[in-house]
Amino acid sequence: MSDRVYAKDAGWKDMVAGGYIPQAGNAEEYSVAGWRIVHPVRDDDACIDCLFCWVYCPDNAVYVENESVIGLGFDLEHCKGCGICAAVCPKDCIKMEEGSMPAEDE
Amino acid sequence: MAKLTEVRWHGRGGQGAKTASYVLAIASAEQGWEVQAFPEYGAERRGAPMRSYVRISDAPIRLRCAVQHPQIVIVLDDSLLKSENVTDGLEEGAVVIVNTSESPEEVRGKLDYQDVKLCTVDATAISLDTIGRNIPNTPMLGALAKVSDVVTVEGAQEAVRKQLGTHLRPEVLEANMQAISRAYEEVQVA
Amino acid sequence: MGVRQPLEGNNAVAEAMRQINPDVVAAYPITPSTEIVQTFAKFVADGLVDTNFVAVESEHSAMSACTAAAAAGGRVMNVTSANGLALMWEILYITASLRQPVVLTVVNRALSGNINIHCDHSDAMGARDAGWLQLFGEDAQEAYDNLFQAVAIAEREDVRLPVMSCLDGFLVSHSYELVEVEDDDALRDWVGPYKPRMPLLDINNPYTMGPLDLWDYYIEHKRSQWDAYPDAKQAVIEEGQRFGETFGRSYGLMECVELDDAELVVMAMGSTAGTCKDVVADLREQGVKAGLLKLRCFRPFPAPEIVEVLKGAKALAVLDRAASFGAATAPLFSETVSALYSHGVHAPALNIIYGLGGREIRPEDIVGVFDDLKAIAKSGQPSDPVKWIGVRE
Domain range annotation of chain A? 31-105
Count of structural domains, chain C: 2
pLDDT for residue C362: 97
Run of H or E including B127: helix B123-130
**What does the DSSP assignment read for A37-100?**
SEEEEE-TTT-----HHHHH-TT--B--BTTB-TTT-B-TTT-----HHHHH-TT--EEEEESS
Least confident residue range of A6-10, C161-165, C205-209: A6-10
Q: Which of B31, B65, B69, B151 to mutate to test the interface with C (most CBs of C within 10 A)?
A: B65
For chain C, the chains sharing at least 3 beta-carbon pairs closer than 8 angstroms are A, B
pLDDT tens column, C342-387: 999 999 999 999 999 999 999 999 999 999 999 999 999 999 999 9
User: Which positions 150-179 of B are in contact with C (Cβ < 8 Å)?
Assistant: none
Name which of B26, B61, B66 is nearest C6 (Cβ-Cβ).
Answer: B26
User: Phi/psi at C297 (nearest 5 deg)?
Assistant: -110, 100
Max Cα distance, chain C (Å): 68
* Residue C154: C-alpha distances to residues B28, B185, C142, C351 (Å): 38, 57, 17, 32
C367 touches chain B (CB under 8 A): no
Decide: C168 and C119 in contact? Cβ < 8 Å.
yes
> Does C240 lie in the same domain as C274?
no
B26 touches chain C (CB under 8 A): yes
Q: Does the domain at residues A31-105 carry the CATH identifier 3.90.1170.50?
A: no
**Does position C263 have pLDDT exceeding 90, yes or no?**
yes
pLDDT in tens, chain B (190 residues): 679 999 999 999 888 899 999 999 999 999 999 999 999 877 667 888 999 999 999 999 999 999 999 999 999 999 999 999 999 999 999 999 999 999 999 999 999 999 999 999 999 999 999 999 998 999 999 999 999 988 999 999 999 998 888 889 999 999 999 999 999 999 999 8
Nearest to A26 by CA among C215, C212, C216, C96: C212
CB contact under 8 A, A10 and C207: no
Provide the shortest C-alpha distance from residue C155 to chain A (in Å): 14
pLDDT for residue A25: 81
pLDDT for residue A1: 38
> Does C214 lie in the same domain as C164?
yes
pLDDT for residue C346: 93
> Does C75 lie in the same domain as C148?
yes
pLDDT for residue A2: 45
Which of C247, C267, C285 represents a domain boundary (last residue)? C247
Q: For residues C324 and A27, what is the distance between their CA atoms, to the nearest angstrom?
A: 43
- pLDDT category, A29, cuts 50, 70, 90? confident
pLDDT for residue A105: 57
Q: For residues B69 and B27, what is the distance between their CA atoms, to the nearest angstrom?
A: 22
Nearest to B4 by CA among C390, C363, C173: C363
Q: Is residue C209 part of a domain?
A: yes
**Does position A44 have pLDDT exceeding 90, yes or no?**
yes
Nearest to C239 by CA among C148, C163, C306: C148
Strand pairing class (B49-57; B4-12): antiparallel
User: Phi/psi at B178 (nearest 5 deg)?
Assistant: -60, -40
User: Which positions 53-72 of B are in contact with C (Cβ < 8 Å)?
Assistant: 61-66, 68
A7 touches chain C (CB under 8 A): no
Q: What is the ipTM of this complex?
A: 0.93
Q: Which residues pair with C290 in a beta bridge?
A: C264
* Residue A11: C-alpha distances to residues A6, A7, B86, C178, C209 (Å): 9, 9, 69, 52, 19
Provide the shortest C-alpha distance from residue C98 to chain A (in Å): 4
Q: Is residue C39 part of a domain?
A: yes
Exposure of C9 in the CB half-sphere (CA atoms within 13 A): 30
Run of H or E including C177: strand C176-181
pLDDT for residue C1: 77
CB contact under 8 A, C360 and B65: yes
pLDDT for residue B14: 84
CATH of the domain at C269: 3.40.50.920
> Does C358 lie in the same domain as C232?
no
Q: For residues B53 and B21, what is the distance between their CA atoms, to the nearest angstrom?
A: 6
* Residue C278: C-alpha distances to residues A80, B150, C46, C310 (Å): 70, 22, 42, 20
User: Which positions 69-88 of A are in contact with C (Cβ < 8 Å)?
Assistant: none
pLDDT for residue C97: 98
pLDDT for residue A50: 98
CB contact under 8 A, C206 and A15: no
C touches A, CB cut-off 8 Å, minimum 3 pairs: yes
CATH number for region B4-189: 3.40.920.10
Task: Identify all chain C residues contacting B66, using CB atoms and an 8 Å cutoff.
Answer: 360
Task: Identify all chain C residues contacting A24, using CB atoms and an 8 Å cutoff.
Answer: 206-208
pLDDT for residue B44: 65
Query: pTM of the entire structure?
Result: 0.93
pLDDT for residue A103: 76
Q: For residues C320 and C329, what is the distance between their CA atoms, to the nearest angstrom?
A: 9
Strand pairing class (C297-299; C133-136): antiparallel
**Does position C174 have pLDDT exceeding 80, yes or no?**
yes
Q: Is residue C261 part of a domain?
A: yes
Q: Write out the residue range of the structural domain in which residue C99 sits.
A: 3-247
> Does C341 lie in the same domain as C219?
no
Nearest to A94 by CA among A30, A106, A61, A66: A61
Nearest to A27 by CA among C215, C211, C221: C211
B37 touches chain C (CB under 8 A): yes
Q: Is residue C393 part of a domain?
A: no
Taking residues C99-107, report their average pLDDT: 98
Q: At what angle do helices B123-130 and B170-186 cross, to 10 degrees?
A: 150
User: Whole-angstrom distance between the N-terminal and C-terminal Cα of chain C?
Assistant: 52
Domain range annotation of chain B? 4-189
* Residue C80: C-alpha distances to residues C66, C75, C248 (Å): 13, 17, 29
**Does position C316 have pLDDT exceeding 50, yes or no?**
yes
Decide: C62 and C26 in contact? Cβ < 8 Å.
yes
pLDDT for residue B1: 65
CB contact under 8 A, B37 and C274: no
More confident residue, C171 or B190: C171
Name which of A11, A14, A20 is nearest C207 (Cβ-Cβ).
Answer: A20
> Does C180 lie in the same domain as C306?
no
Q: For residues C194 and C197, what is the distance between their CA atoms, to the nearest angstrom?
A: 9
Q: For residue C262, what is the DSSP state? A: -
Strands (E) across chain B are located at 4-12, 34-39, 49-57, 72-75, 95-99, 117-121, 188-189
Decide: C357 and C321 in contact? Cβ < 8 Å.
no
pLDDT for residue B86: 96
User: Whole-angstrom distance between the N-terminal and C-terminal Cα of chain A?
Assistant: 22
